[in-house]
């Protein structure tokens, strides 16, 4: 198996396949640790999905958090995860940990190697032709492998823009926080005993964290004396559903295979689950099994993304929903439980009806 892209998705797919007995090569033009703007939070479901691949994320360090808190002027709602803890971990630390684990598993890692193309079931790399049984594209949301394989066709494709910065200060909460404002959100994740990650996400590609912070006075006050670490790092966060995630012997995984908006915090969980499903399909020799599993894995995060993005677009609706969550904490807890896979998907709809009724009575 030849994996193009050595980020967390490519490494997870490589580890999963190698542990099922496949010979695996990973090629990437970059050299570890590879960093990327992301919220740097993993839910308990994501930790369990990684563990199923033999990846113990807690061994990589980071900082545990107990649940999710929504913050908005005049309303606040929080809930703990039904079981387990989430983990905040810096993206570069996660990547370094996974690269070392892949090497220990026997994955051959070709860092600093540029792939020139794929053609007729072959990979053109470093001036030579390689003919693997399977080719996996794990090269992110702007995947060139997806284009080479003719898999760009989408059912839908919408984008927002994210900018991340770390701050040196002790976390003030055991929760990952989402601060809601008109037209944007700020995500705060503890990643160390003395460091937090703050991410701005909006539809405005020109908006930066320093400009947005004054819209969130309470958070701005907490960060006033905090020392920024490093520079802003930006990325596009997309809601993208592909018509197919494989063709012939080429399969896509991670953001290359489609994605949900970062508002869900589900990105890492999805790539671990997809990697397991892909490895099973490769062993069976049938990528249609991966296609079916991929759709099943993405269904719940897509629904949650749709609901949360509706709150982003409709400020009045958002304010009423957050007040309802504050008045009825069990509704927020039920939504969170369904989001992380602890409660059945039907909980989303039953809680949604209760939420709608509560909003009408506010």
> pLDDT per residue over 37-89, tens digit each?
787 899 999 999 999 999 999 999 999 999 999 999 888 999 999 989 999 99
Residue 290 — very low, low, confident or very high, per pLDDT cuts 50/70/90? very high
As a whole-number percent, the residues of the chain with pLDDT over 90 amount to 67
Distance CA 86, CA 90 (A): 13
Q: From the centroid of its chain, how far is CA 192?
A: 19
Q: What is the CATH number of the domain that holds 176?
A: 3.30.70
Residue ending a domain, among 193, 219, 237, is: 237
Q: What is the CATH number of the domain that holds 298?
A: 3.50.50.60
Residues 213 and 252 in one domain: no
Cis preceding-peptide flag for 33 (omega within 30 of 0): yes
For residue 121, the model assigns a pLDDT of 83
Distance CA 178, CA 201 (A): 10
SS3 helix, strand, coil % of the chain, rounded to 5? 40, 30, 30
Residues 51 and 124 in one domain: yes
Q: Is residue 84 part of a domain?
A: no
> pLDDT per residue over 92-148, tens digit each?
999 999 999 999 999 999 999 999 999 878 999 988 999 999 999 999 999 999 999
Residues 288 and 205 in one domain: no
267 Cβ contact list (under 8 Å, min separation 6): 38, 39, 255, 259, 260
| Contact in structure between 251 and 134 (CB atoms under 8 Å) | yes
Q: Is residue 43 part of a domain?
A: yes
Q: Mean pLDDT score of the chain, rounded to an integer?
A: 90
> pLDDT per residue over 246-265, tens digit each?
999 999 999 999 998 888 88
Distance CA 272, CA 49 (A): 6
pLDDT at 165 over 80: yes
Residues 216 and 357 in one domain: no
Residues 112 and 229 in one domain: no
Residues 220 and 304 in one domain: no
pLDDT at 266 over 60: yes
Q: Is residue 75 part of a domain?
A: no
For residue 306, the model assigns a pLDDT of 86
- Determine the 3-state secondary structure of 277 from DSSP: helix
The pTM of this model reads 0.91
Q: Is residue 70 part of a domain?
A: no
User: Across residues 337-349, what is the average pLDDT?
Assistant: 69
For residue 346, the model assigns a pLDDT of 63
Place of tokens 């602890």: 342
Q: Which residues pair with 250 in a beta bridge?
A: 135, 247
Residues 176 and 150 in one domain: no
> pLDDT per residue over 1-21, tens digit each?
999 999 999 999 999 999 999
Residue ending a domain, among 215, 237, 259, is: 237
Residues 246 and 142 in one domain: yes
Residue ending a domain, among 195, 222, 237, is: 237
Distance CA 59, CA 50 (A): 12
Q: By CB neighbour count within 10 A (0-12 exposed, 13-18 middle, 19+ buried), where does 197 fall?
A: buried
Q: Is residue 83 part of a domain?
A: no
For residue 29, the model assigns a pLDDT of 94
Distances (CA, A) of 132 to 146, 250, 289, 326: 17, 10, 20, 54
Residues 36 and 105 in one domain: yes
Distance CA 188, CA 196 (A): 7
Number of domains in the chain: 3
**359 or 6, which is more confident:** 6
Residues 128 and 40 in one domain: yes
For residue 171, the model assigns a pLDDT of 95
| Contact in structure between 191 and 40 (CB atoms under 8 Å) | yes
Residue 235 — very low, low, confident or very high, per pLDDT cuts 50/70/90? confident
pLDDT at 304 over 50: yes
For residue 360, the model assigns a pLDDT of 46
Element (H or E) spanning 287, and its range? helix 287-313
- Length in residues, the chain: 362
Residues 249 and 105 in one domain: yes
User: Across residues 346-359, what is the average pLDDT?
Assistant: 54
Residue 362 — very low, low, confident or very high, per pLDDT cuts 50/70/90? low
| Contact in structure between 98 and 15 (CB atoms under 8 Å) | yes
Place of tokens 């540029």: 114
Q: Is residue 334 part of a domain?
A: yes
For residue 213, the model assigns a pLDDT of 94
Q: Which two tokens stand for residue 36?
A: 């990327």
Q: Which two tokens stand for residue 207?
A: 């908006």
For residue 16, the model assigns a pLDDT of 98
Q: Is residue 69 part of a domain?
A: no
Residues 188 and 52 in one domain: no
pLDDT at 344 over 70: no
Q: By residue range, what is the domain housing residue 320?
A: 314-361
Q: How far apart are the first and last CA of the chain?
A: 57
Place of tokens 């990952």: 176
Q: Is residue 77 part of a domain?
A: no
| Contact in structure between 176 and 188 (CB atoms under 8 Å) | yes
For residue 349, the model assigns a pLDDT of 56
> pLDDT per residue over 97-107, tens digit each?
999 999 999 99
């Amino acid at each position: 198996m030849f994996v193009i892209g050595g980020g967390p998705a490519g490494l997870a797919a490589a580890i999963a396949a190698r542990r099922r007995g496949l010979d695996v090569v990973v090629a990437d033009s970059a050299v570890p640790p590879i960093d990327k703007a992301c919220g740097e939070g993993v839910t308990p479901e994501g930790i369990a999905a990684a563990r199923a691949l033999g990846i113990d994320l807690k061994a990589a360090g980071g900082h545990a958090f107990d649940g999710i808190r929504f913050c908005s002027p005049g309303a606040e709602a929080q809930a703990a995860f039904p079981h387990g803890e989430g983990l905040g971990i810096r993206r570069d630390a996660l990547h370094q940990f996974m690269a070392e684990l892949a090497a220990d598993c026997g994955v051959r890692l070709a860092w600093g190697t540029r792939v020139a193309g794929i053609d007729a079931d072959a990979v053109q790399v470093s001036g030579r032709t390689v003919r693997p049984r399977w080719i996996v594209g794990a090269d992110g949301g702007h995947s060139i492998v997806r284009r080479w394989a003719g898999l760009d066709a989408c059912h839908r494709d919408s984008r927002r823009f994210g900018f991340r910065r770390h701050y040196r200060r002790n976390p003030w909460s055991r929760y990952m926080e989402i601060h809601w404002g008109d037209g944007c959100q700020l995500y705060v994740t503890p990643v160390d005993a003395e460091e937090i990650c703050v991410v701005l996400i909006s539809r405005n590609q020109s908006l930066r964290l320093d400009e947005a912070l004054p819209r969130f006075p309470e958070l701005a006050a907490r960060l006033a004396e905090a020392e920024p670490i490093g520079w802003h790092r930006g990325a596009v966060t997309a809601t993208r559903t592909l018509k197919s995630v494989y063709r012939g012997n080429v399969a896509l995984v991670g953001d290359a295979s489609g994605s949900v908006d970062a508002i869900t915090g589900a990105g890492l969980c999805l790539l671990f689950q997809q990697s397991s499903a892909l490895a099973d399909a490769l062993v069976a020799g049938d990528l249609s099994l991966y296609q079916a599993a991929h759709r099943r894995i993405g269904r719940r995060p897509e629904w949650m993304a749709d609901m949360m993005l509706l709150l982003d677009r409709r400020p009045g609706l958002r304010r009423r929903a957050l007040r309802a969550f504050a008045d009825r904490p069990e509704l927020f807890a039920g939504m969170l439980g369904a989001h992380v896979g602890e409660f059945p998907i039907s909980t989303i709809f039953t809680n949604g009806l209760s939420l709608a009724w509560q909003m009408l009575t506010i």
